[in-house]
Structure 1
Amino acid sequence: MLREDYATWTCAGHEISLTRPRIMGILNVTPDSFSDGGSYANVDEAFEAGMKMLDDGADLIDVGGESTRPGAEAVEPSEELRRVLPVVKKLVAAGACVSVDTRHASVAAAVLDAGASIINDVTGFTDPAMVDVVADTDCGLIVMYWNKMGLGTHATRQTVQLDVDRPNRPIARRVPSMRRFTMPEEAPIMRQVMGFLGDQARKLMRAGISHDRICIDPGPGFDKFADEDIVIQRATSKMVSMGYPYLCAPSRKRFVGAVCGVKDAKARDAATIGVCLAAIEGGARLLRVHNVAVVSQAVNTFWAVRHPDSRQAFISLGSNVGDAEQEMDTMAKATHMIDELPMTCVVNVSKAYETEPAYGIATPVANAVAEIRTELHPLVLVDKLLDIETKLGRTRVEGATKPGPRTIDLDLCWYEGEEHAGRKLTLPLKGLGERDYVLVPMEDLMHDPVRFLKHSGVDVVAPEKRVGRMKGELGVLGWEDLR
């Protein structure tokens, strides 16, 4: 079926497809952030937390070194850089798409030099120096709305709205008057928010920054009343209609607590999910959250049920037990089990080939490639492939320096519209362009796999430089006979 949205957010070397919701994990390396300050005592702990977010379903990691909670003290750029730079470097080296939450031009310049792909500026790039920094790069930008004077929409409200985290302290002053409606009027709020975001986006484009690099964020919780934040969230579709990637960042915010009645910020994850799902229905495709695991589970399930979204993918099958007939039989069974996965079907399977050993394997391997269509999230699909390996007798030895004989090996090599970094999954598969035992079987499935993969950003090496090269054909897998 035709997808609703073919938009792409271009962020340095990453092109983030927005045909489905993307999750940005919040990684604060601060001692005083409102819900997770001081959680990561050193660089290694922060790095491990970021890697876990990627394995839990994050597509991007947003690293922050300065708290923007109400009442937080400003941080010198040198201290902010000391906190974020080592973490950014490690995450980039692991292949992650990294965003840095900063309002300082010097910090932005340093993290971009270190490989960060996105600058998330809570001041909306109002500093000309910040504009100069990002204009000289190809990074992605998040333009956030934050008017420290407030939105000024409560002149007709009678009561003072209290901060749910600090119930005895008003968020802002209001002029007493008669209250006649439950919510403030939308038009003046959205004129201010959308006007600022649109003006800043055009300012950035006049500086030479392309439209597809710019993402907008209305900045929930930043000097806004809860009522105003709800009005803004209800207007998600209007902001999406501005034509820029739209970031929904409600995670554990005060307005979420005000609506759900939960005072503890860390206990607001379920309510955060509710706001995220509402935003997705309004057209938002980027979600910035603290608890990646629970939001990813909810969003992926919601998307699978609510939005049909079938994707093409390729899975490499391998077996090296030393008996060609047994290897063929196991690969056929694995293919049949893949075909039986929910929301998944096998479209076609290559012939099986005997290939030279590679990557530390000592014996020749039987290999094939299956083309599938699936609506499962890539990380969910990988878990199911691991389950199939286990059911077919694959055993893994922790700490083994060299892979031994494997009953079956199933690698998700390529998935339409997806790139990912993490310990559980890398997309496209690391080293895909040098694996002869994948490229040659793919020729059974399409006219020109090399051109296909190069178009997807995979660097394909010349045949003589590949590993796991072909030794001969083994025949056709009879997986359909097992139906």
Structure 2
Amino acid sequence: MLREDYSTWRCGQHVLSLARPRIMGILNVTPDSFSDGGENTDPAAAVERALQMLDEGADIIDVGGESTRPGAKPVTPEEEAHRIVPVIRGILSKAPTAIISVDTRHAAVAKICVRLGVSILNDVTGFTDPAMVQVAAESDCGCIVMHWNKLGGPVTRRMVQLDSERPARVRRTVPTSTRRFTLPEAAPVMREIMGFLGDQARVLMRAGVSHDRICIDPGPGFDKTYDQDVVIQRATRKLVSMGYPVLNAVSRKRFVGAVSGVKDAPDRDFATTGIALAAVESGARVLRVHDVAGVCQALDTYWAVTKADPRQGFVSIGSNVGDRLENLSRAVRLINEIPMTCVVQASHAYETQPAYGIETSVVNAVVEIRTELAPIVLIDCLLDIETQLKRVRDPRLAGHGPRTIDCDLCFVEDEEHAGPKLTLPHPHLGERDYVLVPMEDLMHDPVRYLMHAGVPVYAPEDRVGHVVAEVGELDWQ
């Protein structure tokens, strides 16, 4: 299918499709961050917040242990590691396929986190430390190169340089407070930022980091004036033209408050969303935000009504209560009624052996769909269908008890996700005979298809829930 953007971002074992924008949820485990300091200093609370953000739609969790707000006190690598290592371990223990980014400028901390399994190195100093470059080169992590000019904003420094070159008599005749334009000239600002980002990206590539692992961030709020930050946001298309994924990281920052009139940082989420959507329209593909739920809702609806982006997907359905064949047929009809979703075809129904603690045999089928809904939205629609068909969940049976219908979202084209509510591809997809055999009704070689998509598939004798008989066709049209 035709898409505007085929780019991907390679982050460790993950190849993150950027055909649609991605959300990076901010998890600060610091006592002094500018808007949420102290909220997640307890590791258990931080892990729960990370899992919550995944269920809200975050594609990436960005864990940071050192505040970079103006005036913040630097922390030692040892203290930073003490803050973030238990959190990273906790997240990956509960969501092993989650994409985790570590926000650090310390090579020693980055190296520890790579061993723990993080997928992205987010360096606010733009990999200017050769030791950080070495860590990046020795890993397969994605790398975020950020611009941070600690000596003053680019335009400020450039204007000081120009003023110093003028004769003293000329400098005195022009009041320094005179302004002829509402914003500074864009060219000097972007020349420095784009030059720095391009230079540092080439440093990484010369060290062995592939182009498709690099993402760039112009560093809004990092020693830049409010006006310069606005200039940078308006120049997002220029940043995109450099050929790297662009990260938009404006969440709750001071310039957001300046342009919106909102003084308190935690109250700037609506304003943040407005700027984030503008950045997406200009080509930014990763949004780093505090309010994951709000930005995801805005982004999903914006994308749905402005971009034609249908995806292929597969839903496994099963029933072991009542008229099982009719339950499956009703489920397919209801799936076909989900907004912005249609059923392409449904497999035959198959009698399968019990698996995962289920005591009775199950009738299963697989439904191929096309959908333009975000997966985190689609899974809620499927859970609603289970409710409509009166599925009863017994918490003592961990989801494996009798059910009138079970709807598992197994696979969506170009989508990865990890969280308590949804994991894509489904973590048990490759071992389920009752999914793989029905998929043969829908395509020539599902094993080859799934393995090409990075899903490991078990040999038939090693699978669970083996198909024992064909039951018949589903009546759904």
The interval holding the TM-score normalised by the smaller chain is over 0.9
| Structure 1 position 42, deviation (Å) | 1.4
Q: 2:378 aligns with which of 375, 378, 381?
A: 381
Q: 2:158 touches 2:188 (CA, 8 Å); kept in 1?
A: no
How far apart, in 2, do the equivalents of 1:199 and 1:280 lie?
A: 24
Task: Provide the identity percentage.
Answer: 65
How far apart, in 2, do the equivalents of 1:370 and 1:5 lie?
A: 27
Q: Which moved more, 1:418-427 or 1:92-101?
A: 92-101
| Structure 1 position 150, deviation (Å) | 1.8
How far apart, in 1, do the equivalents of 2:306 and 2:109 lie?
A: 41
CA pair 316-127 structure 1, distance change in 2 beyond 3 A? same
Q: 1:437 aligns with which of 410, 434, 439?
A: 434
| Structure 1 position 149, deviation (Å) | 1.3
Q: 1:101 touches 1:120 (CA, 8 Å); kept in 2?
A: yes
Q: 1:460 aligns with which of 442, 446, 457?
A: 457
Name the SS of the counterpart of 2:395 in structure 1: coil
Name the SS of the counterpart of 2:230 in structure 1: helix
Name the SS of the counterpart of 2:397 in structure 1: coil
Mapping of residues 44-443 of structure 1, within 5 Å: 44-93=44-93, 94=95, 95-154=97-156, 176-321=176-321, 323=322, 326-401=323-398, 403-443=400-440
Residues 283-339 of structure 1 show CA distances to partners (whole Å, capped at 9, x for unaligned) of 001000001000000000000011110000000010001x5xx11111101100110
How far apart, in 1, do the equivalents of 2:225 and 2:265 lie?
A: 17
Q: Aligned-pair RMSD on alpha carbons?
A: 1.2
Q: 1:156 touches 1:177 (CA, 8 Å); kept in 2?
A: no
How far apart, in 2, do the equivalents of 1:399 and 1:52 lie?
A: 23
How far apart, in 1, do the equivalents of 2:400 and 2:62 lie?
A: 35
How far apart, in 1, do the equivalents of 2:352 and 2:71 lie?
A: 63
Q: 2:445 aligns with which of 443, 448, 455?
A: 448
| Structure 1 position 177, deviation (Å) | 3.3
Which residue does the alignment assign to 2:172?
A: none
Question: 4+ residue stretches of structure 1 with deviation over 4 A?
Answer: 154-157
Name the SS of the counterpart of 2:415 in structure 1: coil
How far apart, in 2, do the equivalents of 1:152 and 1:377 lie?
A: 39
Name the SS of the counterpart of 2:155 in structure 1: coil
Point out where structure 1 has 5 or more consecutive residues left out of the alignment.
Answer: 158-174
How far apart, in 2, do the equivalents of 1:260 and 1:36 lie?
A: 20
| Structure 1 position 227, deviation (Å) | 0.4
Name the SS of the counterpart of 1:49 in structure 2: helix
Please, what TM-score do these two structures have when normalized by structure 1? Answer: 0.94
Which residue does the alignment assign to 2:171?
A: none
| Amino acid in the other structure paired with 2:270 | A
How far apart, in 1, do the equivalents of 2:214 and 2:181 lie?
A: 36
| Structure 1 position 402, deviation (Å) | 6.6
| Structure 1 position 153, deviation (Å) | 2.0
Q: 1:156 touches 1:176 (CA, 8 Å); kept in 2?
A: no
| Structure 1 position 403, deviation (Å) | 2.5
Please, what TM-score do these two structures have when normalized by structure 2? Answer: 0.95
CA pair 212-343 structure 1, distance change in 2 beyond 3 A? same
Q: 1:156 touches 1:178 (CA, 8 Å); kept in 2?
A: no
Residues 260-291 of structure 1 show CA distances to partners (whole Å, capped at 9, x for unaligned) of 00000000000000000000010001000001
Q: 1:155 touches 1:176 (CA, 8 Å); kept in 2?
A: no
| Amino acid in the other structure paired with 1:346 | V
How far apart, in 2, do the equivalents of 1:44 and 1:452 lie?
A: 39
| Structure 1 position 133, deviation (Å) | 1.1
Residues 381-425 of structure 1 show CA distances to partners (whole Å, capped at 9, x for unaligned) of 000000010001101123435722100000000000001100000
How far apart, in 1, do the equivalents of 2:87 and 2:396 lie?
A: 26
How far apart, in 2, do the equivalents of 1:127 and 1:305 lie?
A: 43
How far apart, in 2, do the equivalents of 1:240 and 1:402 lie?
A: 45
Q: 1:100 touches 1:111 (CA, 8 Å); kept in 2?
A: yes
| Structure 1 position 430, deviation (Å) | 1.3
How far apart, in 1, do the equivalents of 2:108 and 2:142 lie?
A: 17
